[in-house]
Amino acid sequence: MVLQAISSRLLVQADPQATLSWYRDDDVLQPGDLAVWIDRAGQLVRFSLAYTPDVLADELFAAWENGRSVRTGVVEREQRARLGHPRSRLIRRRSLATSELAILRRYLAANASVAPAAPEVISILDSVT
């Protein structure tokens, strides 16, 4: 349940206005990902967070971009047949319950020493109603 920074040499920096940092948690039972984009002034301008709190739970996600509201939802654990691809996963945008948002906040708080932008992401998640 610990995020690890992915080397910036392995990342494609597609946005000339912001630098991507990616953190990955390869825990078999509780994997997670955090991608953050920081502008030249050092401000967080975008993030994408995904975390599976339990081997039997759906993956929770939250994404935000400066000037927009936070988008949340789940990636369903069950793999469904779709368009002839039996391993396709369904992403469902929906409001996360207060308890689910709390899970994401706790996960980030536990990883704040690894991902410096985590406290700011938590603050943005706090704005979700």
In angstroms, the CA 60 to CA 49 distance is 8
Q: Tell me, what's the pLDDT at 27?
A: 87
Tell whether the model's pLDDT for residue 109 goes beyond 50: yes
Q: Tell me, what's the pLDDT at 119?
A: 94
Q: Tell me, what's the pLDDT at 92?
A: 87
Burial class, 68, CB count within 10 angstroms (exposed 0-12 / middle 13-18 / buried 19+): exposed
Residue 89: which pLDDT band, with cuts at 50, 70 and 90?
low
Domain positions in the chain are: 4-119
* Ordered strands of the 4-5 beta sheet: 4-5, 18-25, 32-39, 44-51, 59-65, 71-82, 85-93
Helices 98-110 + 118-126 axis angle, to 10: 170
In angstroms, the CA 117 to CA 23 distance is 11
Region 35-51 average pLDDT: 95
Region 16-32 average pLDDT: 91
pTM: 0.85
Q: Tell me, what's the pLDDT at 86?
A: 52
Q: Tell me, what's the pLDDT at 122?
A: 94
Q: Tell me, what's the pLDDT at 87?
A: 54
Residue 85: which pLDDT band, with cuts at 50, 70 and 90?
low
**Position 27, amino acid:** D
